[in-house]
Every structure is written in structure tokens, then in C-alpha cells.
Amino acid sequence: MLITDGSPLLRIGGSDNDRHDRMRRIGWIDMESVHSARILVAGAGALGNEAVKNLVLAGFRRIDVADMDDIVVSNLSRCLFFRDKDVKTVMKSDVVAERASELDPDATVTSMPGRIQDIKNWDYDIVLGCLDNISARMHLNSHSYFHRIPYIDGATDGFRGKVHVVLPGGPCLQCTMNRSHVREMERRFTCTGNSTTYVPRMAADITTTAVIAAMQVREALKIVSGREDMCLKHVAYYNGESCEMFTAEASVDPECANHLLREGE
Ligand SMILES: [Zn+2]
């Protein structure tokens, strides 16, 4: 089919019938590896909704989504898969898995309702941390590092956000934290959920969530395409108020338990 509007002819069809044609035109993306990669998304809240949406649309087809909470009203301003009828009736991970699967019939998005700490199978190519509390985050970091799985951690606080890419052998989340960090994050890193007792609730908005989740999935695309050389090194800090972003290189803490454990084998 040809369309003419006085400008050069535009041909419709062919590549337009390939769902991922426009992705393939980004030369370095390996769509076969994207399709086959096994991804764990830990957390099905605001970041998890955005991350899973991005993953499925980008062509990832083997996604597990883990979360222990059900849906509350305050989730509805940032979670595109949630509806009013879901409040207090269904688990976050069940809803995300069901509705994200509708985006691509070739994608299998599996719900894993329950605690991150109860995950036994670590047969993943990438782990995405979309969490709101430090203990689950550190658990993911440690297990991913031990199993040599790249871990991409996302965090938001109002209009500010952070992404940390942990590659096997590189500085991990724990390397960048000291005791005061841990105390501060224990106090602050929470937003919603029955199971969460920390106060106060954190500020959050969908625009910052969308930026951070997009960066997480973009880093995942690089890793599965064998382009770790393009990956963020190692932490990106985003300020949505000034629209600024800066990155900071981290270094391995020789006292970090994750490295001592892994290298002591
Ligand atoms: Zn470390």
C-alpha cells in the first residue's frame, strides 16, 4: 500500500507487521536474547508496574513478578495496571501478571505472590529491584551477587530517583552503604502496603517513577544484548525538579560481605 501526500512515497506494510521492527532498527539490540531472557521483577508497586510494562513492550517474554501486598487506593495514581475494583481484593503481582500479559500474547508474565525472602529459585538472567524497603533490597542484592545475576536497583523519593547497576564482580549495593545510610533508609524507604509498618509514607509521583523504571529496563536491554560496556557505572541520581542527572562510580568495598562470601568459595 502506498500513501502520497505530495512528499516522497511512504510504503506501509512489511516491517510494520513486525511487532519489534523499530527495536531491531537500534542496531545493537539483540531481540532474540531479549525474548529468551529470564527476568525477575521484585516489587509490583509503582516501579514494578512501569518496569513490567516496559519489559513486555520491549520484547521480554519470560518475566516473574514478586510482591507480597494487595492493592490500596493510594497505588492508583502511579500504577497503570491497577483499577479501583482491585483495591483490597487482589494481590499486586496477580494483577500485573494478568494485565501485562495482554500487552503481548507471546509474553509469559508469572505472578509470585509472597515475600522476596522466600524466593528459592534464582534461575534468572537479570533481577530488577522495584522495592520500597531496604531489607528486601539488600536481600535481592546479596542473592543476585551470589548467583552472578546482574541486579538493577531502582528507587524513588518524590521527584528524586536513583538507579544502581550491579554487574557480577562489580561494586554492589552494600558496597555503597554505611551504617547511617542503612538507618536512614530503614526510616524512609516505604510508601504503601499492609505489611509495611514504617512511617512516614514517602512522597511519590508517576513521572519520576516512569523515568527510573525506564532507565532500569534500558540497562536490562544493554545487558541481555551483551553490551555491558554501555551500562551505567554505577549509580545514576535523577533530580526531576531541576531535570538534572549525574552518575557516580562506585568501588568494591573489600569488607563487603557479598564479595568476601563469593570470593571465599
Ligand atoms: Zn559489595
pLDDT at position 247, please? 96
Q: Is the pLDDT score of 236 beyond 50?
A: yes
Task: Evaluate if residue 118 carries a pLDDT over 70.
Answer: yes
Q: What pLDDT sits at residue 195?
A: 47
- Residue 5 pLDDT class (50, 70, 90 cuts): low
Rounded distance, CA 137 to CA 193, Å? 16
DSSP annotation of 70:
B
**Structurally, how many domains does the chain consist of?**
1
In a domain, 11, yes or no: no
Residue 44 CA to ligand 1 centre (angstroms): 25
Residue 22, pLDDT score: 93
pLDDT in the model for residue 135: 87
Cell numbers found for residue 260: 568476601
Which pLDDT band, with edges at 50, 70 and 90, does 134 fall under?
A: confident
Distance, in Å, from the CA atom of 254 to the CA atom of 210, rounded to the nearest integer, reads: 34
Vertex 106 angle, CA 100 and 107, to 5°: 35
Tens-place pLDDT, residues 16-31: 889 999 999 999 999 9
Amino acid letter, 211: V
For residue 249, the model assigns a pLDDT of: 95
Cα–Cα dist 93/73, whole Å: 16
* 98 CA from centroid of ligand 1 (Å): 35
Looking at residue 175, what is its pLDDT?
93
User: What pLDDT does 188 receive?
Assistant: 47
For residue 41, what are the domain limits?
Answer: 26-263
Mean pLDDT of the chain: 89
Beta strand segments in 87-144, E: 108-113, 126-129
- Cβ(43)–Cβ(131) under 8 Å? yes
**Residue 67, Ramachandran bin (φ over 0: left; ψ between -120 and 50: alpha; else beta):** beta
Find the 201 Cα to ligand 1 centroid distance in Å: 28
| pLDDT on residue 1 | 45
Residue 34 within any structural domain of the chain: yes
CB 57 within 8 A of CB 250: no
pLDDT score for 184 = 58
- Quote the ligand 1 centre to 251 CA distance (angstroms): 9
Distance 211 CA to ligand 1 centre (A): 26
The Å distance, Cα 49 to ligand 1 centre, comes to: 28
Percentage above 90 pLDDT, the chain: 77
Distance from CA of residue 191 to its chain's centroid? 17
Q: What is the pLDDT of residue 179?
A: 63
CA 107 to ligand 1 centroid distance, Å = 33
pLDDT of residue 147: 95
pLDDT band at 133; cut points 50, 70, 90: confident
Confirm whether 138 is domain-assigned.
Answer: yes
For residues 102-124, average pLDDT: 95
Domain-embedded: residue 14: no
Q: Which helix (H) or strand (E) holds 160?
A: strand 160-166
Dihedral sign for Cα atoms in the order 191, 160, 156, 170: negative
Tell me, what's the pLDDT at 15?
86
Per-residue model confidence (pLDDT) at position 35: 98
The CATH number that applies at residue 246 is 3.40.50.720
Residue 122 is placed in which grid cell?
A: 534464582
Ligand 1 centre to CA of 185 (Å) is 17
192 within 8 A of 63, measured Cβ to Cβ: no
CA of 178 to the centre of ligand 1 (A): 11
pLDDT band of residue 177 (cuts 50, 70, 90) is confident
3-state secondary structure of 114: coil
Q: Per the domain annotation, does 154 fall within a domain? A: yes
For residues 133 and 198, the answer to whether their CB atoms sit within 8 Å is yes
The three cell numbers of residue 23 are 527495536
What average pLDDT does the segment 206-220 reach? Answer: 98
Cα(216) to centroid(ligand 1), Å: 20
In a domain, 121, yes or no: yes
Ligand 1 centroid to 203 CA: how many Å?
28
Report the separation in Å between the CA atom of 233 and the middle of ligand 1, taken as the mean of its atom positions: 14
What are the phi and psi torsion angles at 3 (to 5°)? -115, 130
User: How far apart are the CA of 229 and the centre of ligand 1, in A?
Assistant: 20
Give residue 252 CA to ligand 1 midpoint distance, Å.
Answer: 6
Please provide the DSSP assignment of 236-263 as one string: EEEETTTTEEEEE-----TT-HHHHHHH
Tell me the sheet residues that pair with 155: 162
- Return the half-sphere exposure (C-beta side, CA atoms, 13 A cut-off) of residue 201: 9
Indicate whether 39 pLDDT > 50: yes
22 Cα to the center of ligand 1, angstroms:
37
Task: Out of 19-23, 66-70, 192-196, pick the least confident.
Answer: 192-196
CA 46 to ligand 1 centroid distance, Å: 27
Question: What pLDDT sits at residue 108?
Answer: 98
In a domain, 9, yes or no: no
Determine the pLDDT at residue 243: 95
The verdict on residue 224 lying in a domain is yes
